[in-house]
Amino acid sequence: MRSESAGDGYVRWFRDLRNSDVPIVGGKNASLGEMYSQLSAQGIRVPNGFALSAQAYRDALFEAGAWSRLHQLLDGTDKSDVEGLAKRGAEARQVVYEATGTRRLRDEIGAAYAELEKQYGPDVAVAVRSSATAEDLPNASFAGQHESFLHVRGKKDLFEACRRCFASIFTDRAIVYRIDNGFDHFKVALSVGVMKMIRSDLGASGVIFTLDTESGFRDVVFITGTYGLGENLVQGRVDPDEFYVHKPTFRKGARAVLRRTLGAKQMRMVYAHRRGVGSTRNTPTSAPDRARFCLQDSEVLTLAGYAIQIEDHYSRAAGHPMPMDIEWAKDGKDGFLYIVQARPETAASRRAPEVFDSFTLKGTGQVLVSGRAVGEKIATGTVRVVSERQSLSSFLPGEVLVADTTTPDWEPVMKSAAAIVTNRGGRTCHAAIVARELGVPAVVGAAGATEELQAGAQVTVSCAEGDIGTVYAGKLAFEITKIPRGELPRPRTQIMVNLADPDLAFKTAMLPNDGVGLARMEFIVTDHIGVHPMALVMPDKIKSTKATATIARLTRGYAHPADFFLQKLSEGIGTIAAAFYPKPVIVRLSDFKTNEYAKLIGGVDFEPKEDNPMLGFRGASRYTHPAYAAGFALECAALRRVREDMGLNNLYVMVPFCRRLEEGRKVIDAMSTHGLKQGENGLEIYVMCEIPNNVIQIDAFATLFDGFSIGSNDLTQLTLGVDRDSEIVAFDFDERDPGMLEMLRLAVSGARRNRSHVGICGEAPANYPEIARFLVQQGIDSISVNPSSLLRTITLVHEAEQRESASASS
């Protein structure tokens, strides 16, 4: 195992290393050398250092005659014998530790350290990190298997740290890792990296991914960070701050944080202020530090810029896109940000949805209850009947949530449910809308569900059998058919999605789509803000001390309470717009009813009580009214920030429930006053076509607005005179009624006559194939449905187009 180059020095300085040197110094050190030598000149700060080659490890063991002893210890190791493994591992580490204590290594390490002292000052602190390599597998990853030592000072302590780092090749976890992955213990060697220690104990540190780690979405940089040294974050001991930056608009010059989440950052790892190898300790993070982000926006953007440069560099070298996993550190003394590691990301980048799922029930069983089906999936689980909000704390992830109905404050639990069943509600109720967003099957309007479904019973919830959703007794078999992306037809009609939850934006954007036909602003207000906008503009009018205290807590750290609303709303909308960029995203201005606004924190002091909120102070009538004009100004400011600061000019605006032309003119004028001028920077303003007057006067409305989106729920309700929330008459709510079909025909033909875009954003085309076919016959431009209905709608519309073409040709 002795090399021909044994007489060469073992030290390799970062300036002399490239990515191609993995066999010599392992992946970590080769990557550090690549960045230091190639990217430092581009402005990326990488601390200097050197690597001890893997040959140093091999030669030391050869000269000590250690190989035979290591074979005796490790050949045929049984990983299930935990006690025996620990004993063998400890002896193997001792063998390596003793073998690497040579005079030559001591001298070379000491001389290299002296060179670092010339650059950084006497007794400079360094980090000592392992970098494994395999003779026959140069690209193998051994992340987290070996030891690292931080804040090492002086030649003596550095030599000790390097020996312990070499010995860590036989940690118990590394031995098991190699056994599990089929690696020969003796074809893996260790290189040791020594680099100038960044004083992140006084600053912050974290990890960057050049994609979203959950969905694999490629167009964002995802940055996490915490105070102090980075070990706590890597080991999962703290909840870090999180930030997203949108790569395409960043490349075009936009400089804005897309989205951020404040982490608890429970503790901070710092130096222990005593000599020795790896002397660190944890201290509790102070309350003020926990309440603020560990990075300023400017620093987040600097790191994002570094990450994009690194990804571009590695992608060019690889000849294909190369998402990266990057470690960063902020030095608390000089205030600079440094990159201390980079490696290709190999997990999330493989999650692209090349295959889509279709569910089919295979078994049969007793029908317990049935109602309206939401989504096209099947799920099984244990029934949990929730009668009141207080009972939600006992809900376990994966259970079937059964309730009379649901409200927005139930959503954290709904996100973990296997399925949802409610006594009441139709396809437009809260439970249905949230279930669609989450991709969770739901059966709504299942009368008697809370009595018929017994707590603790196993059930199957099927929403894959058409309009009717069914809850069966027991766990029934079902099949999931995979549909390859390449086999999915793409119709001429645009198929868009309805979306409200920014948390689902990246995942949903990876499905085949033509953009977002309806982004529901009010759901972002409910789920991510929770406070009435007027309560933030006029806090002195709030009568409830509890509401005042809650608002003070939520807005702590903001210069003005209204800034909280502005940031949260713009980041929620911006996330959706970024996910689908450059495809169009049509965001609907807030469309709460007064009773819904009143449920927001502080809302009761700003909302009138109405007997019929569905036909009351809602939609366009609110935006220029003195009772809400200041709140509307905040909505416009958020939209302007998304379009201008974030650079997401694919965002269009839609005005809901616009009763009269004069009302529409006032809204458009108010938007212009707030910096959202129609036509400027490509801004298009649409109107919901959901009131019969919108259809009757469609020629006049077309002179004001750039396009129409048919809201089939309200238009059906107002055309048929049916209150869709009334259990007594809701059965008469049917989009297939001849009168309703005539309304749809008039709306589409009227928009086309005026050369205006016309789409539909209700679920009618997804629920009823005949309506999808009818709209295609009329020549509608787009159909927008919830994500759970997307694949079926694409197929239905494509088939309808094929039939229409065949009829025309005959």
What six digits make up the tokens of 678?
């129609």
CA dihedral of residues 738, 741, 742, 747 (deg, nearest 10): 160
Contacts made by residues 303-306, CB under 8 angstroms, sequence distance 24+: 303/208, 303/221, 303/223, 303/328, 303/337, 304/208, 304/221, 304/223, 304/245, 304/247, 304/250, 305/250, 306/44, 306/208, 306/337, 306/339
Residue 671 has a CB neighbour count (10 Å cut-off) of: 25
Bond prior to 582 in cis (omega within 30° of 0): yes
Collapse the DSSP code of 587 into the 3-class scheme (helix H, G, I; strand E, B; otherwise coil) and give the result.
strand
First to last CA, the chain: 79
Nearest Cα to Cα of residue 623 among 676, 691, 671: 671
Check if 429 is active-site: no
17 and 25 in contact (C-beta within 8 Å)? yes
What six digits make up the tokens of 776?
């295609």
Nearest Cα to Cα of residue 271 among 222, 231, 213, 311: 231
What six digits make up the tokens of 692?
């019969």
Nearest Cα to Cα of residue 92 among 161, 192, 170, 160: 170
Residues 6+ apart with CB under 8 A from 85: 77, 78, 79, 172, 175, 176
Whole-angstrom distance, CA of residue 585 vs CA of residue 578: 9
What six digits make up the tokens of 218?
């490629």
Whole-angstrom distance, CA of residue 618 vs CA of residue 124: 66
Q: Which of 430, 674, 757, 798 is catalytic?
A: 430
Q: Residue 340, class by beta-carbon neighbours within 10 Å (0-12 exposed, 13-18 middle, 19+ buried)?
A: buried
Residues 6+ apart with CB under 8 A from 149: 127, 128, 129, 161, 164, 165, 277, 278
Nearest Cα to Cα of residue 370 among 485, 461, 261, 243: 461
Whole-angstrom distance, CA of residue 510 vs CA of residue 355: 11
Nearest Cα to Cα of residue 310 among 374, 221, 376: 221
What is the DSSP-derived secondary structure letter of residue 589? P
> What is the set of active-site residues?
430, 761
